Amino acid sequence: MQASADSTKMDCLWSNWKCQAINLLYWREIKQTGIVFGSLLLLLFSLTQFSVVSVVAYLALAGLSATISFRIYKSVLQAVQKTDEGHPFKAYLDMEMNLSQDQIQKYTDCLQLYVNSTVKELRRLFLVQDLVDSLKFAVLMWLLTYVGALFNGLTLLIMAVVSMFTLPVVYDKYQAQIDQYLGLVRTHINTVVAKIQAKIPGAKRKAE
């Protein structure tokens, strides 16, 4: 019974996180999205100028400065007003943050599923189970060599964050036009792939 309750609670929590993520990416709460987007960009740009250790240390010092200052301010205020409101962060200190064994097992099972599926897919591509898919993967890796020569990992991460907060909004606004062009591109690619499969021995997929 307890395990079922924990699972239901985790499902509700995951659904809530998913809704919050969608609201952020689609700018449905502009102020909150702006804070998150700006904070992420500031963090990433800081990493381009300083080491990870320095950035983490500065962030920790900034957080500690804010909490210590607020704690001292509330203590002085309580002393002056002769009140006993207790610790200003008591609500957060009393908040339950422990993961149950079932929750840990659930996350572990999800991670194991992703790892196994990734390993199987890579094995399929590298051992050329399907020639066309392996050729597609080879072309993708070849293109990535040029991308890597132009941008470093941090720059790509910044571009990914900017895309996450802009592309969903653009797609939501121009969905009909984008879907139309994507359909044309997909049809053209499928036609080219079909021609390649017809000409390369062993490239045809087995009928399922």
pLDDT in tens, the chain (208 residues): 444 544 555 555 556 677 888 888 888 888 888 998 999 999 898 888 888 899 999 999 999 999 999 999 988 888 888 887 788 888 888 887 777 788 888 888 889 999 999 999 999 999 988 888 888 899 899 998 988 888 888 888 999 999 999 998 898 888 888 889 988 988 888 888 777 777 776 555 544 4
Backbone phi and psi for residue 78, each to the nearest 5 degrees, phi listed first: -65, -35
Tell me the C-alpha distance between 54 and 60, whole Å: 10
Count Cα neighbours of 59 within 13 Å in the Cβ-side half-sphere: 14
As given in the structure block, the two tokens for residue 206 are 């087995």
Tell me if 25 sits within 8 A of 17, measured CB to CB.
Answer: no
Q: How many CB atoms lie within 10 A of CB 40?
A: 16
As given in the structure block, the two tokens for residue 20 are 């919050």
